[in-house]
Structure 1
């Protein structure tokens, strides 16, 4: 299990984590480890940005301030662990890699249900962003303790 600021960002077998790190933090962490074989070279991922306070973590993904793959939902929503072939990863960028937004032959965006249409002012990626926001809101209201 790989944790960042007290949150699990990736979980899998030793082979999954070391041979196929998927979360950007895991990739950066493993790129910093020394190699026994000098011919086994990897790109060194140097993290930039401010290290957030564990007492006051940022909104959204805890790693978003230092992540080179950060985009829209990362700064606002906390990603949940998702299963990718037995490897659990909490990352919107990995989800986007695994479930790319498929466009129609004419380049139109996919629609939320058959027969629906999207207004022409909606930009690529907006549907996926709104869908993830809806899932986060639903999870908040389902999990929010009733008083």
Structure 2
């Protein structure tokens, strides 16, 4: 294969791709958790939460491709198995089907975890002068911060 020459060193591309791999794992894990919540939510807010969780998991599903394709653009393979995601994710699994309010709390924790993961990647992306990754990170940060705020508002 032809050597990649996009103005970002191999060392920097590897560091950024590593951070993006963690973001991909976090996003996939929260996607799956949110989809589970969509399927299993019960209670007086059923319809509201069922539809909201569907919007959230759909958005994350679409983001997975953007993140994985950025990793590939940097010349690295995107993780794509449960075993890889388990090693890379910072999102905690639900041990059972939680009550609706606990689902909301766990979703908030998941989005806040992803926010921290994103913030941790910025240094490597800035060092690499990788504006494309910084753009992806900024867009993801905006979505996760807004989603966490909306979820927190449900608990008031």
TM-score (norm 1): 0.26
Tell me: higher relative CO, structure 1 or 2? Use CA pairs within 8 A at least 6 residues apart.
Answer: 2
Structure possessing the higher radius of gyration over alpha carbons: 1
Question: Which one has a larger percent helix, Structure 1 or Structure 2?
Answer: 2
Question: Which one has a larger percent strand, Structure 1 or Structure 2?
Answer: 1
